Amino acid sequence: MAIPEAERLAASCSGPGQSPRPRRVKLRTLLRVASVACGIQFGWALQLSLLTPYVQELGIPHAFASIIWLCGPLSGLLVQPLAGHFSDRCTSRFGRRRPFILAGAVSIVFAVLIIGHSADIGWLFGDRGQKKTRAVVAFVIGFWLLDVANNMTQGPCRALLADLTGKDHRRTRVANAYFSLFMAVGNVLGFATGSYSNWFKILPFTHFCLQR
């Protein structure tokens, strides 16, 4: 069974045969873990600000677009509890939470690549002209994968902060404050990035951008 982070830190401070002494986790460690929230929230904000216009560009009907957005609350309802359940029972030598955070981060990369190149994927599989059925399918798959991956990362990240602080309630409050701070920073950066509408001119690396 994997050793909780707080117990691991305590054991590292005591010698052989000695009872573990509590050790306060360093603030910079909490900052590094909490900073994951900035990237996650940046992704959520960018979804809201950029992907709705992209949905319209692909020609997805408004009613269907609303169904696509259901993935956010549904994945939050299902994925975070499941990730927490399985990470509690994880026996990896890297800890209980880190494998799930890594898996979520890798999935986010794949999801963003699928979304960003959905029009290209559709074109490769036969989309021509105004009809972009295959691009829509690729977009929906990437969109749902991104929501699932974000939740898979966010839940274990919060749990890792709790593992690190252990029974030190003051440090727990500090860790939660850092997490909330980075969420706010991610929101600001995400919406600020999404407000700029000429990214396709700066990064014209997709077939869809070159058609515009």
The CATH superfamily of 27-195 is MFS general substrate transporter like domains (1.20.1250.20)
DSSP 92-113: -TT-SSHHHHHHHHHHHHHHHH
pLDDT value of residue 58: 77
Global pTM exceeds 0.85: no
pLDDT value of residue 8: 55
Domain boundaries, the chain: 27-195
Block means of pLDDT (10 residues each) for the chain, 212 residues, are 54 51 77 91 84 76 78 85 89 90 92 85 81 83 90 90 88 92 93 74 53 49
Cβ 211 vs Cβ 69: under 8 Å:
no
Q: What is the 3-state secondary structure (H, E, C) of 166-191?
A: CCCHHHHHHHHHHHHHHHHHHHHHHH
- Rounded-to-integer distance, Cα 33 and Cα 40, Å: 12
CA distances from 130 to 49, 91, 136, 181, 186 (A): 24, 51, 12, 43, 35
- Rounded-to-integer distance, Cα 53 and Cα 30, Å: 36
DSSP 97-162: SHHHHHHHHHHHHHHHHHHHTHHHHHHHTT--TT--HHHHHHHHHHHHHHHHHHHHHHHHHHHHHH
Cβ 34 vs Cβ 175: under 8 Å:
yes
